[in-house]
């Protein structure tokens, strides 16, 4: 085994969606992600897509066997309050929980996509502020 730099694992979360045409505006116009690519085995087949915003990437899948609707992911960002200000007036975005500090060491908010998947946008905060 070669010594040196270890490879880092990159995890990309997946959300199961039921209607890509409905989810796409939520993620692109509402949340500010851009579409890296979309894949279908044939026309009118379920979509599998990769979306990215800054250094955050996620997969959206209409394939029933990939995962279940109603998932939860956490994205860590430098300033959750800036995200809140950006998305709070957008019609596509449902904020279930405004930024708060209900978990020690984190300031976070919860956003729910059209299928009920939850995105927790989090910022680490210093202890004993």
pLDDT at position 129 over 50: no
Local confidence band at 6 (pLDDT 50, 70, 90 cut-offs) = confident
Query: How much is the pLDDT for 28?
Result: 96
Predicted local confidence at residue 15, as pLDDT: 97
Look at 51 and 92; give whichever has higher pLDDT.
51
All structural domains of the chain, each given as residue ranges with its CATH number in brackets, are: 14-124 (3.10.180.10)
Q: Two tokens at 105?
A: 């060491």
HSE value, Cβ hemisphere, 13 Å, CA-based, for 99: 19
Q: DSSP labels for the chain?
A: ---SPPPPP----EEE-S-HHHHHHIIIIIT--EEEEEE-SSTTSPPEEEEEETTEEEEEE--TTT--SS-EEEEE-S-HHHHHHHHTT-TT-EEEEEEE--STTEEEEEEE-TTS-EEEEEEE--TT-
Residue 128, pLDDT > 60, answer no
What backbone phi and psi angles, to 5 degrees, belong to 91?
A: -65, -30
pLDDT exceeds 60 at position 16: yes
Q: State the pTM of this model.
A: 0.86
pLDDT over 90, % of the chain? 80
């Amino acid at each position: 085994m070669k010594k040196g730099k270890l490879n880092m694992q990159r995890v990309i979360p997946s959300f199961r969606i039921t209607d890509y045409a409905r989810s796409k505006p939520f993620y692109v116009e509402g949340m500010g992600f851009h579409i890296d690519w979309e894949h279908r085995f044939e026309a009118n087949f379920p979509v599998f897509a990769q979306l990215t915003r800054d250094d955050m990437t996620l997969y959206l899948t209409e394939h029933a066997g990939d995962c279940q609707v109603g998932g939860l992911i956490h994205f860590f960002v430098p300033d959750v309050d800036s995200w809140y200000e950006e998305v709070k007036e957008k019609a596509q975005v449902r904020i279930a929980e405004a930024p708060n500090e209900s978990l020690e060491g984190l300031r976070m908010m919860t956003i729910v996509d059209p299928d009920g998947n939850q995105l927790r946008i989090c910022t680490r905060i210093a202890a004993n502020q």
